[in-house]
Amino acid sequence: MNDELIIIRATIALNPEKLEEFRQSIIRQRSEGVIVLPPYVHVLRAPSDVDVRVVDRNFTV
């Protein structure tokens, strides 16, 4: 399996625009080495060199 691959599952439906914003946010954060995700996301797989955190700070969709 690809060492750069992150697999996540959202527990809510996102419209296409929000989904693209979310994807771009993950790509940007990946380059910084830390990915902060909203509480409606479950990480199924992440690269070992990336710190992935799920944070609940009143996220809105």
Distances (CA, A) of 17 to 45, 49, 50, 56: 24, 29, 26, 22
The predicted structure's pLDDT at residue 1: 55
pLDDT tens sequence across 19-51: 999 999 999 998 888 899 988 889 999 888 888
